[in-house]
Chains A and B, each alone.
Chain A
Amino acid sequence: MTNLVQKQKMNKYIVLLASVCLLIIGMILHVAVGSSAVSFTEVMKAIFAPDDSKQTTIVQTLRLPRAVLAALIGASLAAAGALMQAITRNSLASPQVFGVNAGASLAIVIAFILFPDLTSQSTVYIAFLGAALGGITVYLFASGGKITHVKLALAGMAVHLFLSSLTQGVIVLNEQATDVLYWLVGSINGKDWTHVKILLPWSFLGLLLAFGSSRSISILVLGENMATGLGEKVKWIRFFAGILVIMLAGASVAVAGPIGFVGLIVPHIARKLVGGDYQRILPFSALLGAILLVYADILSRFIAYPFESPVGIVTALIGAPFFLYLARKGRNIKQ
């Protein structure tokens, strides 16, 4: 018996190690690949022994922040997804299905129309507001009894449609279509250290708090009866987790637009790899999310080579079929 447990623990460590390696490789690749290839040695030189060459400047000012951003956003969105799945005890939950993304983006689009000179900092707060409203709306719609998969999916889709048709209307009437469209799909293209500076505090705080409270979060998935027995505490945990979601997802949307499906897919893969304990799922989802988005961003550069495409397209093209797979499994998914 102990052998089995030990073996399982070994497995988990192997998986962890493999993931970290994958992430590092991914980030280096990310920095290296682009419209002008930068070789591996040049990348190392730029990071550890920078000089004034053009290559170094490119790596330092453009490529590196983008890679860091991809990892941060991936981690935040995945963690947010894991949190949502815990709060709602529903495997289809994610910031996107829950209208959090759509709410944040609508708020930002409206804000830009009304105040074109908005600073990036204020954008984050507006995103928070929109994210909260979006999430609450879907939650209210889907609750009233148990939040079944169906109720959630339909409610989320309905709210998403509602928000996105308003956004679409705004775009159509303003003829700024291409730009807003790219942003609405979610893109890390052209972001630099200023964006990283904006996102970092929120991501860092959110992730830290999430990992720290993962023990309490695991209470949420204990099941309806146990949760009721614990009463008040559960309500507060839920609320707290909700705030974390808004922080993580809202800040990500504010910086890069609503990148979808990361929060949906990653927790599932994490669960398959490390089991159902939230103390493991949360940090591992963050790690996996970072990997996913870094590689997705690399892929996104090849859709319309040599021009950039929004990374949201890649996550959508991977994620939507996965969503279908989840939908077909329906009720059979164990929480």
Chain B
Amino acid sequence: MKQVKKIRLASVAAIVSILFVLAGCGSTQNSSKENSDNSQKVSVQHELGKTKVPKNPKKVVVLELSFVDALQGLGMKPVGIADDNKKDMIEKLVGGKINYTSVGTRQQPNLEVISSLQPDLIIADVQRHKAIYKELNKIAPTIELKSRESTYEENIDSFKTIAKAVGKEKKAEQRLNEHEETISKLKNELKEESGQTVLPAVVRDTSFQAHTSSSYDGEFLEKLGLKNAVQDKEAYAEMNLEQLSDINPDILILANNEGKLVTDEWKTNPLWENLKAVKNDKVFVVDRDLWTRFRGVISAEAIGKDTVKLLNNKQQ
């Protein structure tokens, strides 16, 4: 009995000591960054404060799609992207295959993979990744910007901040000027439709989620001269068929989910037939990734071109 007791005590002691040793290793581990001289760094203001970012970072890891768009616009390719394991979605976003490492889902990016890439800069979404800001900073200088719930204007601001962080402010200015030109051109092409009401919405199997004037796509469409049918402070509004027929937009833009759609059921209802958009054949189905997930300077222009194509085709 005593023998067994000794073995037991010994193993407990062994475990406890291992744990202490490991704990000791942990607490003496300093952050891997050295204090290089500050002239090589740029101070960037972001949603969670100020971070000193090394000048002209080469290896950037981004944790949201709008940042991929932004870097693309500045002529850079990130070395790591949080892509929800959907490589083809990224291909669609940048318009071709690129070489990068997937760091997992946007919701829970894999910290180990990110650290193994040894990036110079990490760009994260302040809504999703606030909790791991400290952890990310231990790996590399991190800036957190609005992406997921950003409006069009906020997105443009983020673009400018990212440009400052990667040292391409001139290019950003240039790109934004091109952007303004593209927008006015698109607005022009939509002159005939100007003033009509539009309602973009995401359709799933049991819900119809309208995007109001405060949403990303809603705000952008207003820039193109199309008024949003729902003027609201909240970006999204769930609605049923009754409410939709009350609002009765001139143009309906539907971003459909995979699988069953609630609109399939609605189509059998006479209220649907009586919608202005349905009568005038102005109901359009668009790509959900582009319209609601990507966001960014390039994506906005793509949305604009999409809109022009859809609406002008109807004119003929």
Q: Taking the complex as a whole, does A directly touch B, i.e. does some CB pair lie under 8 Å apart?
A: yes
Residues of A within 8 A of B206 (CB): 179, 182-183, 187, 190
The reply to whether A62 and B271 form a contact with Cβ atoms under 8 Å apart is yes
Residues of A within 8 A of B269 (CB): 57, 61-62, 192
Q: Tell me the minimal C-beta distance from A39 to chain B in angstroms.
A: 15
The reply to whether B243 and A54 form a contact with Cβ atoms under 8 Å apart is no
Interface flag for B312 (CB, 8 Å) = no
Q: Give the complex CA separation of A231 and B239 in angstroms.
A: 55
The reply to whether A179 and B205 form a contact with Cβ atoms under 8 Å apart is yes
The reply to whether B207 and A116 form a contact with Cβ atoms under 8 Å apart is no
Q: Mark B242-274, 1 if CB is under 8 A from A, else 0.
A: 110110000000000111101001000111001
Interface flag for A34 (CB, 8 Å) = yes
The reply to whether B240 and A116 form a contact with Cβ atoms under 8 Å apart is no
- Residue from B237, B246, B259, B265 within 8 A of A36 (CB atoms): B246
- Residue from B239, B246, B258 within 8 A of A307 (CB atoms): B239
Q: Tell me the minimal C-beta distance from B236 to chain A in angstroms.
A: 10
The reply to whether A35 and B240 form a contact with Cβ atoms under 8 Å apart is yes
Contact-size category for A: 20 to 34
Decide yes or no: A61 and B239 within 8 Å by CB, A117-B260, A190-B206 being known contacts: no
- Residue from A57, A117, A194 within 8 A of B271 (CB atoms): A57
The reply to whether A179 and B204 form a contact with Cβ atoms under 8 Å apart is yes
Q: Quick one: closest B residue to A195, CB to CB?
A: B265
The reply to whether B207 and A57 form a contact with Cβ atoms under 8 Å apart is no
Q: Tell me the minimal C-beta distance from A41 to chain B in angstroms.
A: 19
Q: Tell me the minimal C-beta distance from B205 to chain A in angstroms.
A: 7
8 A Cβ contacts from B206-260 to A = 206-207, 237-243, 245-246, 257-260
Q: Tell me the minimal C-beta distance from B270 to chain A in angstroms.
A: 5
Interface flag for A306 (CB, 8 Å) = yes
Decide yes or no: A35 and B262 within 8 Å by CB, A178-B207, A179-B204, A179-B207 being known contacts: no
Residues of B within 8 A of A129 (CB): none
Interface flag for A58 (CB, 8 Å) = yes
Q: Quick one: closest B residue to A176, CB to CB?
A: B204
Q: Give the complex CA separation of A116 and B239 in angstroms.
A: 23
Residues of A within 8 A of B84 (CB): 175
Majority DSSP secondary structure for residues of A touching B:
loop
Decide yes or no: A62 and B242 within 8 Å by CB, A116-B258, A192-B265, A194-B265 being known contacts: yes
The reply to whether A306 and B243 form a contact with Cβ atoms under 8 Å apart is yes
Q: Tell me the minimal C-beta distance from B288 to chain A in angstroms.
A: 12
Residues of A within 8 A of B271 (CB): 54, 57-58, 61-62
The reply to whether A189 and B240 form a contact with Cβ atoms under 8 Å apart is yes
- Residue from A35, A117, A179 within 8 A of B242 (CB atoms): A35
Q: Tell me the minimal C-beta distance from B162 to chain A in angstroms.
A: 26
The reply to whether A190 and B258 form a contact with Cβ atoms under 8 Å apart is no
Q: Mark A59-76, 1 if CB is under 8 A from B, else 0.
A: 001100000000000000
Residues of A within 8 A of B262 (CB): 190
Q: Give the complex CA separation of A117 and B264 in angstroms.
A: 12
Q: Give the complex CA separation of A36 and B245 in angstroms.
A: 11
Q: Tell me the minimal C-beta distance from B86 to chain A in angstroms.
A: 11
Residues of B within 8 A of A194 (CB): 265
20 contacts between A and B (CB under 8 A): A35-B242, A35-B243, A36-B243, A54-B271, A57-B270, A57-B271, A61-B270, A62-B240, A62-B241, A62-B271, A116-B260, A117-B260, A176-B257, A179-B205, A182-B206, A183-B206, A187-B206, A192-B265, A194-B265, A307-B238
Given contacts A58-B245, A190-B241, A307-B238, 19 further A-B contacts (CB under 8 A): A35-B243, A54-B274, A57-B270, A57-B271, A57-B274, A58-B271, A61-B269, A61-B270, A61-B271, A62-B240, A62-B269, A116-B259, A178-B207, A179-B207, A182-B206, A182-B207, A194-B265, A306-B243, A308-B238
Q: B residues near A, CB below 8 A?
A: 84, 107, 204-207, 237-243, 245-246, 257-260, 262, 265, 269-271, 274
What are the 8 closest A-B residue pairs judged by CB atoms, nearest first?
A: A116-B259, A35-B243, A179-B204, A61-B269, A307-B238, A179-B206, A57-B270, A190-B240
